[in-house]
Structure 1
């Protein structure tokens, strides 16, 4: 295929300017940050027309590889599927509609420990709403959580009761979305957890709860270990429950330990599949995030296929993410990473924390001092057995298995996710 070189005339300039995002606003925000680092400042997203045009030009100039040589997805994303998604991206997808939706939400930025952190903050109209901070994961973002904003903050409009209400804080992790990128090493889950406590207290919350999936679970666990004053409890939907003997067998490539129950054996098999066939993405980010970043930063289709591989595998969809998420929803998330140029900076988090995030010992779950609630979704990377959860989390206060949803639980099944959070934190309301 002939490469359309004219379409690449100013791509390097776009990347150098961070995809031409909020040029004037960014300068203003930086100035205000220097004057008063701890101020809470309104935030507005404005991706330039030039950046959107450049993206479409890149997408439409894609040089495609040959088709896979198998009929399944064992070699990765199928050529026909990614071509369909990319065709929509280059023609019908409209970022401006997404941007308008985001700008209709109350967004803010504040500087914590030298980094500007962008976040969405919605106060419920109901009295005595429970403050809740929710942390997204990779390859997700705040887009995972938009569907639950209404049900969590305004429960009476979604079949709930006023006493179910939450005040909601949804930050973008450092190096993700519109939060600032770390300039040096050290921004791992522990430091993010500490920053989230600063954020909640800066917003005036003396008591609050924390929730997360994927990296958000790791951050919530870290906050549980830190147990800052005012943290009432945590809820996770990707818990670290794997016992030491099971973790060793998985690492060494040995058979499952004897005596596992049916659910424990199923969990072992799911994790073994991840370690032997599905963990290459993490291996690259844990060991060489910078090297990987060059390709994902330069190629929007490379970025899209890298993400689509995980959307297919981790949604409760039987391997076809479009049964759980629309093309627009997936491209909202992928476009966010592209426009903010965060493929590399987001991958750095894997390098910062190269522990196995499923292992109870490595995640030190027994050290968690606050009540812990867990919801197990059937499409999660592995379905944590209750027997393992009880051993891993000494303060387990809530455990439930639901019948729909996957790794991106709030994105796929917002109603179930909302019901679970209401139940999980009910006993912590004062």
Structure 2
């Protein structure tokens, strides 16, 4: 069902941030709903004092001494981080990304007592397929800014009108401009049900879901729960590790001899990840509040915690500036810092408290998978077919990593278009 839009002006306070009164787009019929289900226009308006304070705290950092190791085996090297932080404090301009966000139709609505902020961009093509895009950690809605136009306006980007999508891009609770849960229970199952409620509230009775990282988990939970309106999902980090393989890894045993070449490659990549790079997840799975104090108190400490994963998970050979600009990386850091969401975002790990690579059940709904070469592990088709009874699309992309939409927007858009072509 297509929802008409008209200009509207509102003022609200969302997630502790003042939202300036401004002209935005809002659904006609939704403006008349009750306050709890209303969809209110949203604008970002970070006070200048907050930006000044952020830069001052960066400049006043008490730096750890440089690591004695000659590589990054002890973590993010000071010679890598310090120049980026210097630019953050002296040359970076948050207002550019703020203006970019405010040029988009953004809204907020209350679901289960929590304000959810989201971008909602409708295609001009009437038969566009509604899709909800979900980010992950340490990402944000900023991951998707470069794919909005290719997906909503495909004819301007080498696609066809029948490839168009209406896009809903929410901030996960506790991330960015969405409110922070004050009670436990906001894990991926709950978020998945909230996303269904959001799509139905916007008038979309038939829609698809796409996600990587946390967004992949949420999309899969939506499919497992068969939430209302969902007709299919696309994943760029599928959780498909079979139970017997997960057991072998947990025990520290060698890979089974029966694995195919691609299964063995996936096993080795995951084994290396667990051995060398999974300490952050163990901390956030078990003690997000403890690490959270540092993440909301020190911008450089927060940046180091996040930069390490961005450098490891982009398809960049450990240098994310090969695929992202320093402003794009700092936009993401600034969003976490200015909303003080380092701790609240980490808590989704505690809520799920599970290994998000392992299969959690067999999904009957249609599933599409794109495997990117820089992902934490490359899911083999054989494992995906065991988890997804209706695996209608599977492709190994030629470029891109964990943050596929952020790193390779054109390729990501191409994958999503191809994936959902048969579900329209």
Q: Give 3-state SS (helix, strand or coil) of 1:242's partner.
A: coil
Structure 2 residue aligned with 1:22: 18
Q: Deviations over 1:107-147 (max 9, x none)?
A: 00000000000000000001110000010000000010000
Counterparts of 2:371 and 2:33, CA distance in 1:
43
Q: Whole-Å Cα distance in 1 between the matches of residues 273 and 114 of structure 2?
A: 34
Can you give the 5+ residue segments of structure 1 that lack an aligned partner in the other structure?
Answer: 1-16, 26-31
Give the TM-score normalised by the residue count of structure 1.
0.91
Q: 1:21: how far off?
A: 3.3
Partner of 2:227, secondary structure, is: coil
2:380 to 381, 385, 391: 385
Whether the aligned pair in 2 keeps the contact of 1:245 and 1:257 (CA below 8 Å) is no
Tell me if the contact between 1:18 and 1:340 (Cα under 8 Å) persists in the aligned partners: no
Distance (Å, rounded) in 1 between the aligned partners of 2:78 and 2:231: 47
**How do 1:249-398 and structure 2 match up within 5 A?**
249-360=248-359, 363-364=360-361, 366=362, 368-398=363-393
> How many residue pairs get matched?
403
Q: CA deviation at 1:33?
A: 12
Contact map agreement 2:42 2:106 (CA 8 A) in 1: yes
Q: C-alpha separation between the residues in 2 aligned to 1:344 and 1:232?
A: 33
CA-atom RMSD in angstroms: 1.7
- Correspondences of 1:192-231 after superposition (within 5 Å): 192-231=191-230
- For 1:34 and 1:391, the matched residues in 2 are separated by 44
Give 1:23 deviation, angstroms.
6.7
1:100–1:33 Cα change, 3 Å: farther
- 1:248 and 2:230 equivalent? no
Cα distance between partner residues in 2 of 1:139 and 1:18: 21
Deviation at 1:35, TM superposition (A): 6.2
Q: Structure 1 residues 295 and 34 mapped into 2: Cα distance closer, same or farther (>3 Å)? A: farther
Residues 6-28 of structure 1 show CA distances to partners (whole Å, capped at 9, x for unaligned) of xxxxxxxxxxx999832777xxx
- The structure with the largest helix share of the pair is 1
Partner secondary structure for residue 369 of structure 1: strand
Cα offset, 1:260, TM superposition = 1.1
What is the CA deviation profile of residues 307-350 of structure 1, one whole-angstrom value per residue up to 9, with x for unaligned ones?
10001100000011111111100000010000000000001100
More strand by share: 2
TM-score after normalising by structure 2: 0.93
Deviations 1:224-252 (A, max 9, x none): 01112321100000001111221111111
Distance 2:103 2:381 in 1: 40
In structure 2, distance between residues paired with 1:241 and 1:54: 44
* Per-residue Cα deviation, 1:59-103 (whole angstroms, up to 9, x for no partner): 011111111111221111110110011011001100011111110
* Aligned twin of 1:164: 163
| Structure 1 runs, 4 residues or longer, greater than 2 Å off | 17-21, 32-35
Partner of 2:61: 62
8 Å Cα contact 2:108-2:115 kept in structure 1: yes
CA distance in 2, matches of 1:195, 1:243: 28
